[in-house]
Structure 1
């Protein structure tokens, strides 16, 4: 596995991974209506382009495929964090998170935060994140629960 910074040419593959991962990995924690509302965000192309242009976007590459990625916004907020459905439980999330935490420290951040799905919460808790609040977001009429989580660096 190698790491590389994302470029605009990675956008379509990143979006495909986002959709497939949510549909596959999160299906036990969110119903089909919630999943459709969640993945609808892929249609906001301006937001995706802005992420690549303005955030620290780290891709984990295995055999020329994006196996996962994480983004760091403003040096202390994990905005996107996904591991491809075919690459689950191989330590990729651990490695991406370690790199994002190092980058946050390099940017002099003392804490790192994120809005974490029900599915990802156990992973982040194992990595030292604590729940600060349960959040209910309504998208396209569907209520999505996630957690504001934080970790001291």
Structure 2
């Protein structure tokens, strides 16, 4: 598995991976209406380009195939952490999390935060994150349940979950 920085040519693959991941992996916890709102089947690539321009993104590749990605702010907020359904539960999310956590710790960031979906909550809990609060967010009139979580970039929280 190769972890490397995001490049512009990765955009379409990242958006496709995100869409597939939401519709296949999160389908156990969210309704079809929620999934369609969260990850439209015809995504706006320019909106994604804008979203990713404000964060650092790392991608995981296996034999030239995108296996997952993580995006985070310089302050330690994890915006995205998704794996391709075909790479689910094979350690990709753990590798990406570890790489991001190490980069942030090297910059002196000790507190990490995220807004975790119902599917992502167990992963972050295993990484040592605690639920700060439950949230209900609304997009296009559709409500979603998620969790505000915080953790540490310290080595004591690094486990393999998936």
Q: TM-score, normalised by structure 1?
A: 0.93
CA distance in 2, matches of 1:109, 1:12: 30
Residue 50 (structure 2) pairs with residue 50 (structure 1): yes
Superposition pairs of residues 1-153 of structure 1, within 5 angstroms: 1-40=1-40, 43-153=43-153
Structure 1 residue 127 displacement after superposition: 0.8
CA distance in 1, matches of 2:41, 2:71: 16
Structure 1 residue 51 displacement after superposition: 4.2
Asked whether the equivalents of residues 12 and 45 of structure 2 are also in contact (C-alpha less than 8 Å), the reply is no
Asked whether the equivalents of residues 61 and 68 of structure 1 are also in contact (C-alpha less than 8 Å), the reply is yes
Which structure 1 segments of 5+ residues have no match? none
Query: Secondary structure of 1:23's partner?
Result: helix
Which structure 2 segments of 5+ residues have no match? 154-162
Asked whether the equivalents of residues 8 and 52 of structure 1 are also in contact (C-alpha less than 8 Å), the reply is no
Asked whether the equivalents of residues 15 and 45 of structure 2 are also in contact (C-alpha less than 8 Å), the reply is no
CA distance in 1, matches of 2:42, 2:56: 19
Asked whether the equivalents of residues 114 and 149 of structure 2 are also in contact (C-alpha less than 8 Å), the reply is yes
Moved more, 79-88 or 39-48: 39-48
Structure 1 residue 8 displacement after superposition: 1.2
Q: TM-score, normalised by structure 2?
A: 0.88
Asked whether the equivalents of residues 69 and 83 of structure 1 are also in contact (C-alpha less than 8 Å), the reply is yes
Structure 1 residue 42 displacement after superposition: 7.3
CA distance in 2, matches of 1:20, 1:12: 12
Q: Kindly provide the CA deviation profile for residues 5-41 of structure 1, in whole angstroms up to 9, marking residues without a partner as x.
A: 1111100000000000000000110010010111149
CA distance in 2, matches of 1:25, 1:49: 23
- After superposition, the CA RMSD in angstroms is 1.6
